[in-house]
């Protein structure tokens, strides 16, 4: 559900960039203290894992479409809403800058649609209450499915609203809505199942993987996930990005499918000078567009594999640098108080 710049107007894109910047500022303000510092390595490897996981599109039977996990619920469950939102922001920015996946102007739209509705709405309102009294495998999976469905439904509704406010007449509100919501319902169910299974496994290995557990009375002893398990997540990210991504479905994702079904074209034209300038800038910046090297390697599969591994390491580095910066800021604020 990565929107391109052509789907929105500069005004809508600018407004959503401002909104997402505000949420990022709020999230940074929330991250402080010993719990956050102890979980910085996990924040980095989860960002790398999500980057890799988003490369794997799973087919939606009977539709000709595919989907991949958005990851907002997964990150919120493991890192908490604020750290999860910032980690997802890093992933989306890296995808837009280096891989030309999602527009630069549409970055704010994508972050609100994929991050805000999952981390700050679906997670606290659905998943967190499900595990408040007891954390069990059944509660984790059901909570993850319900939260993923709600998060993606709100996100896909956001896409429809943003294109409508942008005046995209090729995508009539009612028709676009009719295609967007059902396909993302199916994607949400699959994402919820995947998320639930991942979280259940991590929780069975170490309860400290669940962010909600960090707020318990046992926080001093449980706040830091075991190092070898964190390393396993990083290894999983490299395997997913470098190997499993080779078997991803080539069908258009839910948004691309809905746009084609609604407008009868794969790409919607946008005559805005700002949009054209940003698209040219993105072409110059991205060195692995569409997760490849422009045919400079021996095969498309080799390009995909290398892109998955390189992207995972870039994400790991960027997220860790972001976390270290936030940690230092928090310490300076504490010293001045």
Domain containing residue 193: CATH number: 1.10.1760.20
Query: Which residue is listed with tokens 């891989």?
Result: 99
The mean pLDDT of the chain is: 90
In this structure, are residues 77 and 120 in contact, taking their beta carbons and an 8 Å threshold?
no
Mean pLDDT of 285-302: 74
Return d(Cα 190, Cα 182) in angstroms, integer: 13
Quote the domain boundaries for residue 228: 5-336
Q: Measuring CA to CA, which residue among 82, 70, 213 is closest to residue 139?
A: 213
Structure-block tokens of residue 247 = 């078997």
Return d(Cα 75, Cα 70) in angstroms, integer: 10
In this prediction, residue 219 has a pLDDT band, given cuts at 50, 70 and 90, of very low
Q: Is 294 a residue whose pLDDT tops 70?
A: no
In this prediction, residue 336 has a pLDDT band, given cuts at 50, 70 and 90, of low
In sequence order, what are the residues at sequence separation of 6 or more whose Cβ sits closer than 8 angstroms to the Cβ of residue 147? 73, 118, 122, 123, 126, 127, 192
Instruction: Write the pLDDT tens digit of every residue in 66-87.
Output: 999 999 999 999 999 999 999 9
Run of H or E residues at 211: none
In this structure, are residues 270 and 6 in contact, taking their beta carbons and an 8 Å threshold?
yes
HSE at residue 117, side-chain half, CA atoms within 13 A, is: 22
Domain count, the chain: 1
- pLDDT for position 48: 96
Instruction: Write the pLDDT tens digit of every residue in 10-35.
Output: 999 999 999 999 999 999 998 876 66
How many Cβ atoms are within 10 Å of 320's Cβ, its own excluded?
Answer: 18
Instruction: Write the pLDDT tens digit of every residue in 56-68.
Output: 999 999 999 999 9
The Cα angle at residue 54 between residues 109 and 198, in degrees rounded to 5: 115
In this structure, are residues 79 and 211 in contact, taking their beta carbons and an 8 Å threshold?
yes
φ/ψ (deg, to 5) at 59 = -70, 145
SS3 at position 67:
strand
Return d(Cα 236, Cα 216) in angstroms, integer: 28
Burial category of 116 from C-beta neighbours within 10 Å (exposed 0-12, middle 13-18, buried 19 and up): buried
In sequence order, what are the residues at sequence separation of 6 or more whose Cβ sits closer than 8 angstroms to the Cβ of residue 260? 252, 266
């Amino acid at each position: 559900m990565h929107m391109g710049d052509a789907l929105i107007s500069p005004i809508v894109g600018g407004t959503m960039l401002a909104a997402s910047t505000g949420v990022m500022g709020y999230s940074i303000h929330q991250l402080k203290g010993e719990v956050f510092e102890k979980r910085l390595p996990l924040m980095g490897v989860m960002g790398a894992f999500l980057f890799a996981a988003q490369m794997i599109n799973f087919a939606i039977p009977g539709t000709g479409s595919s989907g991949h996990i958005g990851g907002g619920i997964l990150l919120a469950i493991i890192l908490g809403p604020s750290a999860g939102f910032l980690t997802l922001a890093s992933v989306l920015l890296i995808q837009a800058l280096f891989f030309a996946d999602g527009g630069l102007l549409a970055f704010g739209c994508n972050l609100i649609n994929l991050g805000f509705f999952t981390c700050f709405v679906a997670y606290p309102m659905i998943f967190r209450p499900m595990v408040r009294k007891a954390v069990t495998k059944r509660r984790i999976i059901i909570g993850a499915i319900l939260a993923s469905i709600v998060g993606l439904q709100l996100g896909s509704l956001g896409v429809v609203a943003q294109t409508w406010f942008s005046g995209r007449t090729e995508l009539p509100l009612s028709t676009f809505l009719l295609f967007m919501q059902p396909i993302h319902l199916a994607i949400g169910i699959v994402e919820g199942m995947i998320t639930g299974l991942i979280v259940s496994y991590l929780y069975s290995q170490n309860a400290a993987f669940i962010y909600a557990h960090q707020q318990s009375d046992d926080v001093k002893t449980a706040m830091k996930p075991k190092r070898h398990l964190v390393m396993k997540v990083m290894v999983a990210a490299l395997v997913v990005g470098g190997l499993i991504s080779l078997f991803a479905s080539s069908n258009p994702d839910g948004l691309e499918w809905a746009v084609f079904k609604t407008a009868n074209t794969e790409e919607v034209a946008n005559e805005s000078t700002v949009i054209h300038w940003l698209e040219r800038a993105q072409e110059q910046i991205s060195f692995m567009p569409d997760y490849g090297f422009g045919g400079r390697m021996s095969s498309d599969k080799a390009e995909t594999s290398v892109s998955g591994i390189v992207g995972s390491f870039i994400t790991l580095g960027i997220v860790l640098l972001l976390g270290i910066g936030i940690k230092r800021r928090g310490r300076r604020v504490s010293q001045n108080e």
